[in-house]
Structure 1
Amino acid sequence: MNGVFQKTSLIAVVALFLLSCDRSTDAFPDEATAIDLLDQPYGANPRQKMDVYLPAGRSQKDTPLLIYIHGGAWIEGSKEEFNEFRSALSTALPEYAFASINYSLFNLNTGANKFPTQENEIKEAITYIQSKSLEWNISDTIILAGASAGGHLALLHAYKHASIGNIKAVVAFFSPTDLAELYDFNFLTVAGLRGLLGGNPSENPTAYAESSPITFVDEQAVPTIFFHGTVDQVVPISQSELLAIALSEAGVPHEFIKVPNQGHGFTPETYSALFQQAAHFLAEFLN
């Protein structure tokens, strides 16, 4: 009798286990806990890693992903830049998951990792993320965001590679948009872009055009919100003004916010306010 009872209990336990495994992740999103997945590889290169931040209560229906791409003139910086903004972004976009991406940096001394290395690695990262949306229990809806060189890469991917990833909008901060126009801004842009793109705009016009987000703006471009300080001495505000003209001419929904008396980088209070503006903009086009 005791053996029968033990056998019956074992069957009941196994049945309960199987039933629990059969429940889809989307069926109980409120049971999901917040998870940080750090240094997730998306390619073979050691720089090809990302940090992923999954919120509690996520679901495939209601949890879009914002991908943040760091700045640093394509020669420095890391995915840890996102940590400066994580709290403010989570407050502005509480229903979002986030990913912050590393990419190979151009080496001014050796000439390694010229463009389009960075562009191609962003494509790899987004393809990897697409393959993980079910496992991470998040939507396939992607917002691209970035600052400076990262904003450039976000804009370039959204406009040039629209078929890779379900990109719905872009959020960009003080980003290069037309590299030929940027080239002569100062000695740093001359040296950096000459190395990155293998010459000046006259010597290699195709590289400059192919690497400039503004080249690929058309009526199909995704909604874009972008911010630029009026006294930026690293990337002139004219880069965002050129983008605003191109988007207007193509009829693309956008907002261009000039940030008075701030340069290449804003105060924490300013970032918090701008993230809230971005959240309102995104809500308009994601609902």
Structure 2
Amino acid sequence: MAITRLTRRAWLAAALSSLAGCSGLDVLNAISKADASIPMLGLAYGDKPRQRLDVYRPIRPMAGAARAVVFFYGGSWRDGSRTDYAFVGEALAAAGAIAMVADYRLYPEVSYPGFLEDCAAATAFARRWLAQQGYANARLFVAGHSAGAYNAAMLATDSRWLGAQGLSTETLSGWIGMAGPYNFLPIETADILPVFNHPHETQDSQPVFHVDQRWQPPALLLTGERDAYVDVGRNTLSLAERLMKFRHPVELKVYPQLDHKTLVAALASPLQFLGPVLPDVVDFIARA
């Protein structure tokens, strides 16, 4: 037992010491298993350089209808790369889901709502690709961490974005938000102000205000109780409360030992002992 604990601590120290930067994510990808999928990398969903996604097709798919998850990473809408989150694609594929990890344009190339337009285009591409591959009846989900969770939330709650792609929110079997900012006006972080066109921020940029009596796809909201970056009560809990107020299906998971970074890191194969994040995600999509 002591050896097991020591090994786990070693993995954790190596992978999380600099997780906020590329080196930490490189470590996380390097120590994650990568033998459960057939990757298809760099598929174009648009003509811009950052309009690309990577597909991780499971070698052993889930039983029944296929499940597909389009994942959007965080980075304050200013940073990030799909290659940094290969561990997410591999983890979902190992559980039997088709995973798609998408890039999208970032500030200053675009501000709100440009990145949402890209995420909607990536989701529409995913639906077309699934049909072309023989998965026309696949259950499709959008998911994300941090800023990526915001993107997923907006696609699921605000019909404008998928509607512009000729789809409705009903194309989604559900959505998964990990430590997302869903209710953050007024903006208090200087780097985020220009992303949302300060001083012209609008309330309709906030997912929480798009939740009403209209149909909403089922939601799984995940957060770490120790998150010091995105306020849990103001964002995850307030969105869960509003979804419940209008009787929309929502599941809420708050992990006492996890924070903003370790929540997503717990998806990586060697770090899954940190908390049951992956099993909770897999259970959610399997029941859709």
Rounded to whole Å, the distance in 1 between the matches of 2:195 and 2:58 is: 37
1:75 aligns with 2:71: no
Q: Is the 8 A contact 1:39 1:49 kept in 2?
A: yes
- AA aligned opposite 1:100: V
Say if 1:275 and 1:85 are closer, same or farther in 2 by CA, change over 3 A. same
Which structure is larger by alpha-carbon Rg, 1 or 2? 1
Match of 1:260 among 232, 240, 256: 256
Give 3-state SS (helix, strand or coil) of 2:193's partner: helix
Q: Is the 8 A contact 1:79 1:102 kept in 2?
A: yes
Q: How far 1:265 moved relative to its partner?
A: 1.5
Say if 1:87 and 1:41 are closer, same or farther in 2 by CA, change over 3 A. closer
- AA aligned opposite 1:233: A
Please give the TM-score of this superposition, normalised by the length of structure 1. Answer: 0.75
Give 3-state SS (helix, strand or coil) of 1:36's partner: strand
Q: How far 1:87 moved relative to its partner?
A: 3.9
Rounded to whole Å, the distance in 2 between the matches of 1:261 and 1:135 is: 42
What residue number does 1:195 align with? 194
Rounded to whole Å, the distance in 2 between the matches of 1:226 and 1:265 is: 16
- AA aligned opposite 1:254: V
What residue number does 1:4 align with? none
Match of 2:231 among 236, 241, 247: 236
What residue number does 1:218 align with? 212
- The count of residues paired between Structure 1 and Structure 2 equals 236
Which structure 2 residues correspond to residues 15-30 of structure 1 after superposition, within 5 A?
none
Q: Is the 8 A contact 1:54 1:97 kept in 2?
A: yes
- AA aligned opposite 1:282: I
Rounded to whole Å, the distance in 2 between the matches of 1:170 and 1:257 is: 14
What residue number does 1:99 align with? 100
Return 5+ residue gaps in structure 1 as ranges. Answer: 1-32
1:176 aligns with 2:172: no
Instruction: Please list every run of at least 4 consecutive aligned residues from structure 1 whose deviation after the TM superposition is greater than 3 angstroms.
Output: 56-59
Rounded to whole Å, the distance in 1 between the matches of 2:283 and 2:147 is: 24
What residue number does 2:222 align with? 227
Match of 1:128 among 125, 128, 140: 125
For the aligned residues, what is the CA RMSD? Answer: 2.4
Which structure 2 residues correspond to residues 2-151 of structure 1 after superposition, within 5 A?
35-56=38-59, 62-91=65-94, 93-94=95-96, 96-107=97-108, 112-138=109-135, 139-151=137-149
Match of 1:167 among 167, 172, 175: 172
Rounded to whole Å, the distance in 2 between the matches of 1:47 and 1:192 is: 21
What do the CA deviations read for 1:10-68 (whole angstroms, capped 9, x no partner)? xxxxxxxxxxxxxxxxxxxxxxx963210001111100000012234769x72121111
Q: Is the 8 A contact 2:230 2:260 kept in 1?
A: yes
Q: Is the 8 A contact 2:170 2:217 kept in 1?
A: no
Q: How far 1:88 moved relative to its partner?
A: 3.2
What do the CA deviations read for 1:127-166 (whole angstroms, capped 9, x no partner)? 2222222222223421111100111101110111361571
- AA aligned opposite 1:151: A
- AA aligned opposite 1:144: V
Q: How far 1:232 moved relative to its partner?
A: 1.4
Please give the TM-score of this superposition, normalised by the length of structure 2. Answer: 0.75
What residue number does 2:22 align with? none
Q: How far 1:269 moved relative to its partner?
A: 2.4
Q: Is the 8 A contact 1:66 1:145 kept in 2?
A: yes
What do the CA deviations read for 1:162-210 (whole angstroms, capped 9, x no partner)? 61571111111100001315x23xxxx2x1231111214xxx342xx22
Rounded to whole Å, the distance in 1 between the matches of 2:83 and 2:275 is: 18
Say if 1:242 and 1:34 are closer, same or farther in 2 by CA, change over 3 A. closer
Q: Is the 8 A contact 2:55 2:89 kept in 1?
A: no
Give 3-state SS (helix, strand or coil) of 2:251's partner: strand
